[in-house]
Amino acid sequence: MDARRLPARHGVLWLLAGFALFRRHPPLMTALTFGYLLTVIVVNLIPKIGPFLLPLLLPTLTVLLANGSRAIERGQTFDGDTLGFGISAQRVGLLRLGGLHLVGSSLLVLGGAALGEPINISDGMDQEEALALATDLGILLVLASPLLMAFWFAPLLTAWNGVGAGKSLFFSFVASWRNWRAFAMYGLVLALVGALVPGLILIVAGLLSQTLLDILSVALRMLLIFVLAPTMVASVYLSYRDVFAAPVTVPASVPAQADE
């Protein structure tokens, strides 16, 4: 697979294009996102087997989200064939990806557990505990990065390009590494929009009025859930499209063509 090397600004463009895709059909993008989140929550709550079953399903769920995002971009009708494109034909490969995801996630959990004793924050944190928590989170992020890079594009490479599970992980990791600048910018913008800016707004609001703080807290939470989350969902598909495939846009006035 030939992966393009994109400049850093594409990390911002993926989110902007994701928001534009969300604006094209907010109900469908919201339904896709909440369907995914609800599935994750319900499966994870299944006693004993839930946490082990969820990683097996995540590649297939990722393909469903991407199929929906692509359908919205191309103006296609939502139906079973559109949303399930590539899943049935590549179900074995996607299941293998899920198994590898389970192994990787288990190793990550073991690595996180090896960092030390959990910190109890119910009674507050002193400076040493805060520093220890930040260090542990930083180490965990470093450990998780290779896993995230390997699985970012892998489900779509398997479902849409017929690439085997092992090769799709390799190609995804290489493509993510080649585009580390774009992904670094992507993560930076997400941190700013999803955490830093809302946090600063709430700090200022809290200094002015408790009522204003309560109102803005609810409003910002709704924006993050109903706008940022669907934007992130769309950005995963858009990053694959830009790195591995030529952009395809069907004007709204032109009837959509069926996938080949």
Per-residue pLDDT at 247: 46
Per-residue pLDDT at 126: 54
Per-residue pLDDT at 79: 86
Sequential pLDDT tens for the chain (260 residues): 788 999 999 999 999 999 999 999 999 999 999 999 999 999 999 998 998 999 999 999 999 999 999 999 999 888 888 999 999 999 999 999 999 999 998 888 787 666 655 555 555 555 665 566 666 666 777 888 999 999 999 999 999 999 999 999 999 999 999 999 999 999 999 999 988 888 899 899 888 888 988 999 999 999 999 999 999 999 999 999 999 975 444 334 334 333 43
Dump the DSSP string for the chain. Answer: -------TTHHHHHHHHHHHHHHH-HHHHHHHHHHHHHHHHHHHTSTTTHHHHHHHHHHHHHHHHHHHHHHHHHTPPP-HHHHTTTTTTTHHHHHHHHHHHHHHHHHHHHHHHTT-SPP--TT---HHHHHHHHHHHHHHHHHHHHHHHHHHSHHHHHHHH---HHHHHHHHHHHHHHTHHHHHHHHHHHHIIIIIHHHHHHHHHHHH-HHHHHHHHHHHHHHIIIIIHHHHHHHHHHHHHHHHS------TTSPPPPP-
The answer to whether 161 and 97 have CB atoms below 8 angstroms apart is: no
Per-residue pLDDT at 136: 65
Per-residue pLDDT at 258: 38
Per-residue pLDDT at 32: 94
Per-residue pLDDT at 28: 93
Per-residue pLDDT at 115: 62
Per-residue pLDDT at 121: 53
Measured torsion, CA atoms of residues 121, 127, 131, 137, in degrees rounded to the nearest 10: 20
Burial class (CB in 10 A: 0-12, 13-18, 19+), 183: buried
User: Rounded distance, CA 234 to CA 202, Å?
Assistant: 27
